[in-house]
Amino acid sequence: MDKRIRFSRRAVTKHIGVAAGITLLGPGMARAALVTPAQVEGPFHPIDEQADTDLDLTLIDGHSRTATGEVILVRGQVVDTDGRPMQGALVDVWQANHVGRYSHPADQNTAPLDPDFQGWGLIKTDADGRYGFKTIKPGAYPLPMVGGQGWRCKHIHFKVIRAGGEDLTTQMYFRGDPLIEQDLEVKKVPEDLRHLLIADAVADDATGLPFYQFDLVVAKA
């Protein structure tokens, strides 16, 4: 990998962390809250080892090109129901590419793969329970490709893994996506809790990219 790519990657990583530190909730700012609704892991959680699972899903080590699609940032804080930050939790994220295709052998979608999209990241929360990553907005995909009917709206999968506590598996959705209302997985969530899974885009002055704030509340150990 040449120096230009290495420098770009370090700069991106640092920039996400700095921006997250400015915009996320700080220590003691979170309040008692409902546990984030759990959702199905789905059939496409990564099963093959890959060399690059860092917080920049738009750029794979050794590639000169970046992923195709709308680049976004996702940031949030992991806390328990008393608002205590969960330091050192592993936030496992995975998603489809910009046309709704997963890099997974079980995905029968005929949409093309993106060889420059990482698609999977593993991020540890900091001392304040904060996490952040850079990715592209995933595409929706037709459920007949996986034996169902209708469409799955745009979403990102999350699994929060922490020592001494239960894992939380859920999904993040995008405010304004017209497919949310008909999505069968969304409908499984009680209507009064669905807003906890829908993230709003916020203009990011530091990077020029939109970011989505997605805070996660996990049950106490």
Q: Is 194 a catalytic residue?
A: no
Q: Residue 45 is which amino acid?
A: H
Of 15, 75, 130, 141, the catalytic one is 141
Query: If pLDDT is split at 50, 70 and 90, which confidence band does 121 have?
Result: very high
Residue 148 banded pLDDT, cuts 50, 70, 90: low
- Indicate whether 162 pLDDT > 60: yes
Q: Which of 75, 98, 101, 102 is catalytic?
A: 102
User: Counting beta carbons within 10 angstroms of the beta carbon of residue 75, is it exposed (0 to 12), middle (13 to 18) or buried (19 or more)?
Assistant: buried
Q: What CA–CA distances, in Å, run from 135 to 33, 84, 139, 193, 206?
A: 27, 27, 12, 26, 16
- pLDDT digits over 95-118, tens only? 999 999 999 999 989 999 999 999
Domain count for the chain: 1
155 is catalytic: yes
Of the residues 98, 155, 162, 212, only one is catalytic, namely 155
Residue ranges making up the domain that contains 104: 3-218
Considering 152, 162, 173, 212, which one is annotated as catalytic? 152
- The answer to whether residues 17 and 132 touch, using CB atoms and an 8 Å cutoff, is yes
Q: Is 15 a catalytic residue?
A: no
pLDDT of residue 152: 96
48-101 pLDDT, tens digit per residue, is: 889 899 999 999 999 999 999 999 999 999 999 999 999 999 999 999 999 999
Task: Please state, for a pLDDT cut of 70, what percent of the chain lies above it.
Answer: 83
pLDDT at 1 over 60: no
Confidence grade of residue 155 (pLDDT, cut at 50, 70, 90): very high
| Ramachandran category for residue 164: left, alpha or beta (phi over 0 → left; psi -120 to 50 → alpha) | left
Q: Which pLDDT score, from 0 to 100, does residue 174 have?
A: 98
Whole-number pLDDT of residue 150: 86
pTM for this model (two decimals): 0.85
- Catalytic-role residue among 157, 162, 173, 212: 157
pLDDT at position 21 is 34
pLDDT tens-digit profile of 164-214? 778 999 999 999 999 999 999 999 999 999 999 999 998 876 888 999 999
Burial of 4 (0-12, 13-18, 19+ CB in 10 A): exposed
CATH number at residue 80: 2.60.130.10
Q: Please provide the average confidence, as pLDDT, over all residues in the chain.
A: 86
pLDDT of residue 144: 73
Residue 45 annotated as catalytic: no
Whether the predicted pLDDT of 2 surpasses 70: no
> DSSP letters along 27-66, please?
TTT----PPPPP----TTS--S--S--SSBTT--TT-SSP
Strand partners, 189: none
Predicted confidence at residue 147, as pLDDT, reads 60
Is 212 an active-site residue?
A: no
